[in-house]
């Protein structure tokens, strides 16, 4: 993975971009090593991207930017292009493997594909995404993630930071919404026996695990400034930090969480 940047992850699949040639992008299965080359984006400026499972017959790869949305199926030679249906463009896009969801403003939309057309269908209508914390909070980051143990559940994780640059995490707040029952966003006090894993950009996932080394009811998160693993205990509202390996180069390494079938791994 030298000179490569991971820009999106779904279970054992990752979307990889060449650090030198940004138009060289492909999907890579880290278990089978299968590689699916993606068409060139040209000068299209990406703000966010996602893809559904390549093992699904209806798999799509989606890129969103100020100029519109590009999408294609694996093995396609070029992207279909569609202008934004509303004034704002999606700021977050995630996939649960089967479906792709996005955030436009404070509304969640489902991406629905019909031949060469894409429809963005609002879901949870009338229920807006929770507002960010007060302005005195220096740095706020919002993650929309899928619960691996419940396909119908979406989570919003709000990370609040303090300090000169807001890098020191002071609080996490979690909200959930049930897509099948159409329930709006409900604040959660904890996540029980599950664990949340957050990458430093706006991706992550929530899952249950039988591994005794994984702390339940906690959030594992990473920082772009170091290679430590941070663990936020939702009950104690406290954080601990761990160095995954003394062999990791602190200056030239980025860590990512990925979910492999039946296990949990870090990718360096």
Please write the tens of the pLDDT for every residue from 169-190: 888 999 988 777 766 788 999 9
Residues 114 and 137 in one domain: no
* Residues 163 and 110 placed together within one structural domain of the fold: no
- Same domain (yes/no): 31, 100: yes
Range of the domain at 80: 1-123
Overall number of domains in the chain: 2
Residues 109 and 161 both lie in one domain: no
Q: Which of 123, 153, 175 corresponds to the end of one domain?
A: 123
- Percent share of the chain, pLDDT over 90: 35
Residue range 40-54: average pLDDT? 91
Predicted local distance difference test score (pLDDT) of residue 163: 62
Domain boundary among 100, 123, 146: 123
- Kindly state whether residues 171 and 236 are assigned to the same domain: yes
Of the chain, the percentage scoring pLDDT greater than 70 comes to: 83
Mark whether 64 and 135 lie in a shared domain. no
The answer to whether residues 135 and 177 belong to one domain is yes
pLDDT at 244: 76
Contacts of 194 (CB under 8 A, 6+ apart): 147, 149, 206, 207, 208, 216, 217
**Is residue 132 domain-shared with residue 109, that is, in the same domain?**
no
Final residue belonging to a domain, choices 123, 138, 164: 123
Q: Would the pLDDT of 265 be above 80?
A: no
Confidence of residue 251 (pLDDT cuts 50, 70, 90): low
pLDDT of residue 191: 93
Q: What CATH code is carried by the domain that includes residue 109?
A: 2.130.10.10
Averaged pLDDT, 203-214? 86
In this structure, are 100 and 136 located in the same domain?
A: no
pLDDT digits (tens, 9 = 90+) for 75-129: 899 999 988 766 678 888 988 778 899 888 878 889 999 878 899 988 876 567 7
136 and 212 together in one domain? yes
pLDDT of residue 86: 66
Residue 149 and residue 90 share a domain: no
């Amino acid at each position: 993975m030298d000179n490569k940047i991971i820009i999106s992850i779904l279970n054992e699949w990752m979307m990889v971009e060449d650090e030198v040639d940004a138009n060289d992008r492909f999907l890579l299965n880290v278990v089978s090593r299968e590689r699916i080359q993606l068409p060139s984006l040209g000068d299209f400026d990406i703000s966010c991207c996602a893809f559904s499972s390549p093992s699904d017959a209806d798999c799509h790869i989606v890129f969103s930017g100020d100029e519109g949305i590009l999408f294609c199926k694996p093995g396609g030679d070029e992207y279909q292009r569609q202008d934004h249906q509303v004034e704002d463009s999606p700021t977050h896009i995630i996939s649960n493997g089967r479906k792709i969801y996005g955030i436009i403003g404070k509304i969640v939309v489902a991406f629905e594909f019909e031949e060469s057309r894409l429809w963005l269908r609002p879901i949870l209508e009338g229920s807006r995404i929770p507002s960010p914390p007060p302005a005195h909070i220096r740095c706020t980051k919002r993650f929309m993630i899928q619960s691996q143990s419940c396909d119908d559940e979406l989570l919003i994780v709000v990370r609040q930071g303090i300090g000169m640059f807001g890098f020191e995490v002071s609080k996490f707040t979690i909200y959930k919404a049930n897509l099948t029952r159409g329930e709006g966003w409900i604040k959660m006090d904890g996540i029980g026996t599950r664990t949340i894993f957050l990458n430093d950009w706006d991706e992550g996932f929530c899952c249950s695990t039988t591994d005794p080394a994984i702390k339940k009811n906690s959030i594992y998160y990473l920082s772009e400034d170091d290679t430590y693993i941070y663990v936020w205990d939702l009950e104690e509202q406290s954080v601990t930090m761990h160095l995954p390996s003394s062999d990791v180069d602190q200056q030239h390494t980025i860590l990512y969480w990925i979910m492999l079938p039946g296990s949990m791994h870090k990718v360096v």
